[in-house]
Amino acid sequence: MFPGAAVSTGKVDSAFFFIVASSGLLLLLVTAMMIIFVVRYGHRRRPHPQPVKDNVALEIVWTVIPLALVMVMFYFGYVDFEFIRNPPAGAMPVQVTARQWSWLFRYANGREDDVLRVPLGRPVALSMTSVDVLHCLYIPAFRIKEDCVPGMTTHLWFDADAAGTYEIFCTEYCGVGHSHMRSQCIVMPAADFDKWYAAPEEAGLAAAGLKILKSKGCLGCHSIDGSRKVGPTFKSLIGLQQAVTAASRARTVTVDAEYVRQYVLRPNVDVVKGYQPIMPNIPVTNEDLDAIIGYLETLR
Ligand code: CUA
């Protein structure tokens, strides 16, 4: 029905459509019987109803048929659930960290990214946790979904069977940035993936800064393209004249390297006009800050 996504897609869809189709048939049957009975046994035709007593054959039929039907549903559900729960041996492991409000994907070789890149035709096993509140990783195209729980590791796996870009959503309400907690699963031809996986990471201060922003989850709340998220965008941030409120007094500040540095170390001292004071304390070193500012300079 929805070709080209993952092996789990077909399995979940067939169970789903079986349940919808049998429920639809039952609905038609019950409605038709109801109408027939209303017409045939209505007050005008049969003013004196004859009570029916004991019909063993009928009772067996209406017990056995629904039982068989739900057992078939159970069978499909259970077999597919088993399949979805148990990753095959040799699946590529990826660690998933959920936090307010972004995803971080970490590969076996230490590579990290805020989008999930995977090779086509190779199963991927996700080990997931959260560092703050409950989140839930959902890839609709693959029909898979699982909670990310602080202090606990949960698992998901999939085997994508068509290259492409698929949406990842958080489907557990996790605070004001919940609706922004989105990412993508990029399924690449195996050769392209291997190339990306083995490529040395980009050198330089700005590249290091971007990497830190991704790995600390900053980009969950701050966009780099000017769009509005939970926090102000990073685009053209350095050099900006920004209206802020400090201790309920409004003032305008010039956002420069020093301001950014102080703000990260002591968040919410100033509150940017139109936003909430919800920036968390992110542990960063001075070198991290140098790199972050180096990157922000490139967005001027
Ligand atoms: Cu994370 Cu909703």
Mean pLDDT over 250-276 rounds to 85
> How does pLDDT run across 4-30, given as a tens digit for each residue?
588 888 888 888 888 999 999 999 999
| Structure-model confidence comparison of residues 277 and 159, the more confident one | 159
End-to-end CA distance of the chain: 47
Domains in the chain: boundaries: 7-85, 92-198, 205-297
Backbone angles phi, psi at 56, to 5 degrees: -60, -45
Q: Is the CB of 148 under 6 A from ligand 1?
A: no
CATH topology of domain 7-85: Helix Hairpins (1.10.287)
CATH topology of domain 205-297: Cytochrome Bc1 Complex; Chain D, domain 2 (1.10.760)
Q: Beta-strand (E) ranges in 120-211?
A: 124-130, 135-139, 144-148, 154-158, 164-170, 182-188
Q: Is the CB of 178 under 6 A from ligand 1?
A: yes
Q: Whose CA is nearest to atom 1 of ligand 1?
A: 135
Q: Is the CB of 181 under 6 A from ligand 1?
A: yes
Give exposure, 111-144, as e/b (b: 16+ Cβ within 10 Å).
Answer: eebbebbbbbeebbbbbbbbeebebbbbbebbbb
- Residues 6 or more apart whose CB falls under 8 angstroms from that of 203 comprise none
Distance 229 CA to ligand 1 centre (A): 14
Can you tell me which atom of ligand 1 is nearest the CA of 173?
2
- Give which of 206, 210, 204 is closest to 224, Cα–Cα: 210
Q: Look up the pTM and report it.
A: 0.79
CA–CA separation, 238 vs 293, rounded Å? 8
Lowest mean pLDDT among 46-50, 197-201, 219-223, 278-282: 46-50
Distance 219 CA to ligand 1 centre (A): 14
Q: Beta-strand (E) ranges in 171-222?
A: 182-188
- Give which of 219, 158, 222 is closest to 185, Cα–Cα: 158
Backbone angles phi, psi at 82, to 5 degrees: -55, -45
Is it true that 92-198 and 205-297 share their CATH fold? no
Q: Is the CB of 172 under 6 A from ligand 1?
A: yes
Can you tell me which atom of ligand 1 is nearest the CA of 181?
1
CATH topology of domain 92-198: Immunoglobulin-like (2.60.40)
Q: Is the CB of 270 under 6 A from ligand 1?
A: no
Block residue for tokens 């940017």? 272
Q: Is the CB of 170 under 6 A from ligand 1?
A: yes
Task: Please determine, for residue 251, whether its predicted confidence score (pLDDT) is greater than 50.
Answer: yes
Q: Is the CB of 102 under 6 A from ligand 1?
A: no
Lowest mean pLDDT among 49-53, 69-73, 272-276: 49-53
Distance 224 CA to ligand 1 centre (A): 20
- Residues 6 or more apart whose CB falls under 8 angstroms from that of 267 comprise 277, 279, 280, 281, 282
Block residue for tokens 């140098």? 290
CA–CA separation, 268 vs 282, rounded Å? 12
Distance 8 CA to ligand 1 centre (A): 23
> How does pLDDT run across 99-158, given as a tens digit for each residue?
988 999 999 998 888 899 999 989 999 999 999 899 999 999 999 999 999 999 999 999
pLDDT of residue 1: 45
3-state helix, strand, coil in the chain (%, to 5): 40, 25, 40
Distance 226 CA to ligand 1 centre (A): 22
Count of CB atoms situated within 10 Å of the CB of 249: 7
